[in-house]
Amino acid sequence: MDVKTWTYLIVGATFLLYIAIAVWARAGSTQEFYVAGGGVHPIANGMATAADWMSAASFISMAGIISFAGYDGAVYLMGWTGGYVLLALLLAPYLRKFGKFTVPDFIGDRYYSNVARTVAVVCAIVVSFTYVAGQMRGVGLVFSRFLEVEINTGVYIGTVVVFFYAIMGGMKGITYTQVAQYCVLIFAYMVPAIFISLQMTDHIIPQLGFLSEVSDGSGVALLDKLDTLHRDLGFAAYTDGSKSTVDVFAITLALMAGTAGLPHVIVRFFTVPRVKDARISAGWALLFIAVLYTTAPAIAAFARTNLITTISERPYTELPPWFSKWEETALVAWVDKNEDGKLQYHPGPPFVGSPIQQTAAGGGARVQGTYGEALLTNVATDNPNEVYIDRDIMVLANPEIAGLPAWIIALVAAGGLAAALSTAAGLLLVISTAVSRDLMRKQIKPDMSEAEELWWARGGAAAAVVVAAYFGVNPPGFVAATVALAFGLAAASFFPAIVLGVFDKRMNREGAVAGMVVGIVLMFGYMAVYRLGWFVDAVPPESEWWFGISPEGFGSVAMVVNLVVALLVSRMTPPPPVEVQEMVETIRIPSGAGGATHG
């Protein structure tokens, strides 16, 4: 069978599984809709947390970034992994002991203020929609290649599926669907990695293959070979970094703090019966996450090596079939600038923007070149590079580039969809809960019935799905960059308010509100100007970044500003009520440790 048939079979089977689980685990109460009834087993919750955490950015885009950026791409690996450890050890048990359904719920009660709750709701919605944009684009990428439909059509198909099980099942349905999605995505990630590791290095374990010699008898280590390929084409050595130390530190810190402030991850720790179970499930989740995260650098190196050796300096008419297949998605393109019929792959983009961005903006017309290549007319003629490769395709195209069987290629498609949909569902639940519980139940209509609240929750999820589809069709950037911006927004808004809410009993509502508002406005403004190009004629160059920090890393600066503003304002205004201060001390005491000691 061909790839398309296998894809229909495997993706169709997984979709039927997700929908069947949603029907079986449909929510019958608000507690089941918000926190799955609070009775999820720690191992199952750890698996669901891993699936929720490992989004399209982890599955599709992270290895793609590392494969293109080499050493510089490690900031995503370090930041996301370190951030999860920070969340598991520093915040999750305390938030579980507090016993609220959502992050805005925690902030509203901890800071005894509906204003604080409303600000937290706005922050949660902004963060979640920014994050979900990356997931829906990931869904579109998979469908566009493997089902041979337009990217936008792929987004709509994914929207219908996630609409069904997120709205029907709520957190209960999402939790058990995510358990299945973790199994699908990790199997889909590891199988091609093992095959390619055996093919390239004779090692069955990809992590060992990454550090080994290639199996061509040359005695050259894989990374040394990749460094040589890079230098020969004019790229920086794969194992060298080009980012400044300041930017590396800022991005890593923003990703770490953003992780610890992500509402859709935090809410997972509310679904287990006890505080002890929250700690146990965090440990299991870290183990499940580590399987993929330790494999990503190997996949990146395998994919990059195979990419360069299969296309560079080759005549277009002799390219392997995968290249023309991906050309049809506009995620791969070639312009024969020197008219020699061969692909010249060098540093720098051949296009002003990506083919997708040009097509959407009407900036370039899709035409056929002399040799039959699909290209765009809007090219940067002052650069020797003739090839455009969208970094988001590297994991998806990796099995095809390596010549693996069709069923493995289709399996990777199913894994990418599982990663994107699992996180999208969690994010949509955060948005719907913010509307139904934190706005409607807690503020606008506190006397509503449980049935009415459940209706609002499902209605909020439905509206959120529609908006998510829009962002999937009109994404602000490639998947991992979009997600990185969401982490920056979370770091700039939630992280200081949550940490200070747990560890500083003197922190009051005035300080928390001021910090969150200043932090998210500063981060959103910087992102709008320096990444999206809003309010300016063109996106400013790197030389104009503040302190040399990229938009992906600026969340760390906004977080520090938030922290300073919150502390200063809280010390200049009245302290929280005594009962709030006692509550803060109580949630830090392990169960059964006795009463709090007040100073």
Q: Which of 417, 385, 390, 412 is nearest to 400 (CA)?
A: 412
Question: What is the rounded distance in angstroms from the CA atom of residue 119 to the CA atom of residue 281?
Answer: 30
366-368 and 374-376 as β-strands: parallel, antiparallel, unpaired?
A: antiparallel
For residue 18, give every residue at least 6 positions away whose Cβ sits within 8 Å of its Cβ, in sequence order, or none. Answer: 161, 165, 177, 180, 181, 421
Please give the C-alpha separations between residue 480 and each of 134, 136, 279, 374, in angstroms, as whole numbers: 7, 12, 28, 26
Q: Three-state SS for 72?
A: helix
366-368 and 332-334 as β-strands: parallel, antiparallel, unpaired?
A: unpaired
Distance of CA 164 to the CA centre of its chain: 22
Amino acid at 190: M
Q: Say what the pTM is.
A: 0.80
Q: Which of 421, 479, 417, 425 is nearest to 188 (CA)?
A: 417
Q: CA triplet 15, 21, 23: central angle to 5 degrees?
A: 105
Question: What is the rounded distance in angstroms from the CA atom of residue 92 to the CA atom of residue 204?
Answer: 36
Question: What is the rounded distance in angstroms from the CA atom of residue 179 to the CA atom of residue 46?
Answer: 9
What is the number of residues in the chain? 599
Burial (CB count <10 Å: 0-12, 13-18, 19+), residue 148: middle
Q: Which of 25, 44, 160, 55 is nearest to 424 (CA)?
A: 55
For residue 107, give every residue at least 6 positions away whose Cβ sits within 8 Å of its Cβ, in sequence order, or none. Answer: 116, 117, 119, 120, 494, 497, 498, 501, 512
- The model's pLDDT over 300-315, given as tens digits with 9 standing for 90+, comes to 999 999 999 888 888 8
Q: Which of 33, 465, 507, 89 is nearest to 267 (CA)?
A: 33
Q: Three-state SS for 185?
A: helix
The pair of structure tokens assigned to 460 is 């909020």
Question: What is the rounded distance in angstroms from the CA atom of residue 356 to the CA atom of residue 162?
Answer: 24
For 254-287, the three-class secondary structure string (H helix, E strand, C coil) is: HHHHHHHCCHHHHHHHHCCCCHHHHHHHHHHHHH
The pair of structure tokens assigned to 588 is 């830090």
Amino acid at 547: F
Q: CA triplet 32, 87, 84: central angle to 5 degrees?
A: 100
**DSSP 8-state symbol, 100:** -
Distance of CA 298 to the CA centre of its chain: 19
Listed by start position, the domains of the chain span 3-303+404-587
Question: What is the rounded distance in angstroms from the CA atom of residue 382 to the CA atom of residue 363?
Answer: 18
Question: What is the rounded distance in angstroms from the CA atom of residue 529 to the CA atom of residue 73?
Answer: 23
The pair of structure tokens assigned to 318 is 């002799």
pLDDT averaged per 10 residues, the chain (length 599): 85 84 70 65 88 77 83 82 79 76 82 88 80 73 73 79 67 80 91 93 92 86 90 82 85 86 76 80 87 91 90 86 82 81 81 53 53 63 78 86 90 84 76 79 80 79 79 61 72 89 91 93 88 79 88 91 96 92 79 43
The pair of structure tokens assigned to 104 is 């805005």
Q: Which residues of 534-564 are buried (b: 16+ CB within 10 A; e: fewer)?
A: eeeeeeeeeeebeeebbbbbbbbbbbbbbbe
Rounded (to 5) percent helix, strand, coil in the chain: 70, 5, 25
For residue 317, give every residue at least 6 positions away whose Cβ sits within 8 Å of its Cβ, in sequence order, or none. Answer: 341, 371, 372
For 321-388, the three-class secondary structure string (H helix, E strand, C coil) is: HHHHHHHCCCCEEECCCCCCCECCCCCCCCECCCHHHHHHHCCCCEEECCCCCEEECCECCCCCCCEE
Residues forming beta bridges with residue 342, ordered by sequence position: 315
Answer yes or no: CATH 1.20.1730.10 is held by domain 3-303+404-587. Answer: yes
Question: What is the rounded distance in angstroms from the CA atom of residue 566 to the CA atom of residue 561?
Answer: 8
- The model's pLDDT over 339-364, given as tens digits with 9 standing for 90+, comes to 888 888 888 767 655 555 555 444 44
CA-based end-to-end distance of the chain: 72
Question: What is the rounded distance in angstroms from the CA atom of residue 247 to the CA atom of residue 252?
Answer: 8
Question: What is the rounded distance in angstroms from the CA atom of residue 217 to the CA atom of residue 172?
Answer: 53
Amino acid at 164: F
Distance of CA 325 to the CA centre of its chain: 26
Amino acid at 344: Q
